[in-house]
Amino acid sequence: MPVYQNNLKDKKIDFDAIKDKVRVFAPATVANMICGFDILGFAVDEPGDEVKMYRVSEPGVRIRSIVGDGGRLPLDADRNTVSACVKMLLIDLGILQDIGVEIELIKHMPIGSGLGSSSASTVAGLFAINALLGNPLTKDELMPYCVEGERLACGHGHADNVAPALIGGITLVRGGSDLDIVKIPVPSELYAGIVFPQVDVPTRDARQLIKEKVHLKDAVTQWGNIAGLVAGLFQSDYELISRSMHDVIIEPSRAILIPEFYAMKEIALSNGALSFGISGSGPSVVAVSKGKEVAEIVTTKIQEHLSANGIESFKYVSAVNVEGPKVLPFND
């Protein structure tokens, strides 16, 4: 699908259809998919973030509370990416002065994990306001606001996290200012074993390590790997997927920020993973596997290795989430 800024002024909102409250979950994502820096990504079943949104009488957008962020995220609605994107959408719809919403953000995933934390929150917020309004917008129409949320969060409006978080599955992003987002088939036995070591690798710092120029030989190798991976996904060819998921450009620069990276990689590959690499900017790492059992074995062994070296970690094992965000029932 092509992504471009919407003209939403002509959208008609049925105020009688607006709900009193909605609760939405949006999934974590693995950006880059090892060899596809800034262009490939996939969603997982867990972790993820949650937004509860309430219609109130006073017009405007406000943050009611944030849970699970350790006090790191702003409550100011103009500075928080979730509320800022919701506000932007309501302005473009021409109804900011006609509706009031309050937001509760529940972070179920750590900030700076390399699992698309800001993307999950932004997607959850935008999916929630759309659901609250009676779903007047398509996911295609929501996408530019999700990309803008990434720009606000990290200074670079890339879509490799927000695209799979919003539409689910595996996505390919083509272009810069004129984005195309392509949903790629998901082989039925493809699993992700994710380990999040408790070390700090800020996204901005990780990006600064990337070289601006690369050797043509490396570029050709990487292009071939990306093409081979996409072909392997379309054909459910796990051997081709395994041979293709190698990063010769970004990983060598970023791996130095992640303790025990190459030891973890050896553990993953020697225990049957198809491939292993950095999730997003790190420090989370991902072992892509055929089948859940392999992913469970690999993540357990990696955790044991990290623990033996004094590093605490979390693990998540998940199939690719093909649904994206979803509306949840309220518990109360």
Q: Tell me which residues are annotated as active site.
A: 150, 203
Query: Alpha-carbon Rg of the chain, whole angstroms?
Result: 20
Cis peptide upstream of residue 325 (ω within 30 degrees of 0): no
CB 68 within 8 A of CB 106: yes
Task: State how far the Cα of 118 lies from the Cα of 48, in Å rounded to an integer.
Answer: 10
- CA angle 246/250/252 to nearest 5° reads 80
Strand partners of residue 290: 190
Dihedral sign for Cα atoms in the order 13, 84, 24, 163: positive
Cis peptide upstream of residue 283 (ω within 30 degrees of 0): yes
